[in-house]
Amino acid sequence: MVSGEGAEKTPLVSLIAGGTAGGVEATITYPFEFAKTRVQLHDDSPSKNPFRVIKAVIEKEGPRSLYKGCETLVAGTILKDAIRFISFDSIKSAFKDPETGTLSPLRNLLAGISAGVVASTFAVTPTERIKTALIDDARHDKRFTSPWHATKTLVAEHGLVKAMYRGYVTTTLKQASTTAVRLGTYNILKDFERLRDIPQTTATTFGNGAVAGTIVVFVTQPFDTLKTRAQSVRGAGVKEAFTSIIADYGVKGLWRGSTMRLGRTVLAGGILFTTYEWVAALIQPVLDKKLLPARSE
């Protein structure tokens, strides 16, 4: 049972629970992210099975290569999900119906879009740029020895803003749409269940997260593919990234890597929301006790 479901989450709870959930989810599912990124970066592998891609990488480059760029993604995901959940929960609280405590589907989506833009600006774009550059570099040049070395090298070559915010438009489009669909769908399902007195168990939470993850993949995959191309080592503008994908694979290339992303995102959605609700239920009473004396003064 996920306890504390009806309690209003404070900003600090959203921040801690969101960051913790993001770190756990990113660490567990990173090999799927690695495989997806490889396929999107001109990888000629005919297989769409993420397990086969992962097996081939292990055989050619060793098991450690599957976690190339993982530190950057985990750090970025902790920051991203901390910002994303605190933004979404704060906006959701302002938008909700005072009588039912729920949001309309449109307001859910608007809250998600707003949270996605904030997360992309302050966390996602820089960390995704370094992660993608590390994975791309590992295929050919092998210039970068660590995330920090990659950051210093790219900044020295292109300047801080151009190096770290390469692909900002495509990343923000992806984050805004992903956050709107994922958090919006999850919250719509929760509101539907709450109004019908459906118990919020761990299984329910995991299932809601998995459903939200599945919808996210097929709706937002073109933005993800464009983002990956734009953030490769060489880099590309939105137009160049789009035309190169169409030239290489046709329109269906915009959904390249969707199978691999689906495997990760369905699992990630379940892990993310389950961990978030668990951590929130665990720390909310503790923080309430500590803050209660201050509130009563």
Residue 38: which pLDDT band, with cuts at 50, 70 and 90? Answer: confident
Does a structural domain hold residue 5? no
Does a structural domain hold residue 226? yes
Residue 3: which pLDDT band, with cuts at 50, 70 and 90? Answer: very low
CB atoms within 10 A of CB 280: 25
State which residues form the domain around 109: 11-288
Percent of the chain with pLDDT over 70: 90
CATH number assigned to the domain comprising residue 174: 1.50.40.10
Mean pLDDT is lowest, of 3-7, 177-181, 194-198, for: 3-7
For the segment 9-20, what is each residue's pLDDT rounded down to a tens digit?
Answer: 788 898 999 999
Q: How far apart are CA 36 and CA 259, in angstroms?
A: 8
Does a structural domain hold residue 293? no
Mean pLDDT is lowest, of 117-121, 224-228, 276-280, for: 224-228
Mean pLDDT is lowest, of 124-133, 181-190, 234-243, for: 234-243
Does a structural domain hold residue 6? no
The answer to whether 201 touches 154, Cβ cutoff 8 Å, is no
Does a structural domain hold residue 230? yes
Overall pTM surpassing 0.75 (yes/no): no
Q: With CA atoms as reference, report the closest residue to 60 among 41, 73, 80, 45.
A: 45
For the segment 43-67, what is each residue's pLDDT rounded down to a tens digit?
Answer: 555 566 677 778 888 888 888 888 8
Q: How far apart are CA 268 and CA 271, in angstroms?
A: 5
Does a structural domain hold residue 217? yes
- Within the chain, how many helices (H) and strands (E) appear? 11, 0
Give me the number of domains the chain comprises.
1
DSSP letter for each residue of 19-59? HHHHHHHHHHHHHHHHHHHHHHTT-------HHHHHHHHHH
What is the average pLDDT across 195-200?
88
Q: Which amino acid is at 154?
A: L
| pLDDT for 47 | 61
Q: How far apart are CA 234 and CA 194, in angstroms?
A: 49
Residue 133: which pLDDT band, with cuts at 50, 70 and 90? Answer: confident
Q: Token digits for 201? A: 């168990």
DSSP letter for each residue of 228-293? HHHTSSS---HHHHHHHHHHHH-GGGGGTTHHHHHHHHHHHHHHHHHHHHHHHHHHHHHHHHHHHH
Q: With CA atoms as reference, report the closest residue to 175 among 108, 105, 122, 131.
A: 122
For the segment 144-178, what is each residue's pLDDT rounded down to a tens digit?
Answer: 988 899 999 999 999 999 889 988 888 898 888 88
Q: How far apart are CA 230 and CA 260, in angstroms?
A: 19
Better-predicted residue by pLDDT, 296 or 287: 287
Does a structural domain hold residue 1? no
pLDDT tops 80 at residue 260: no
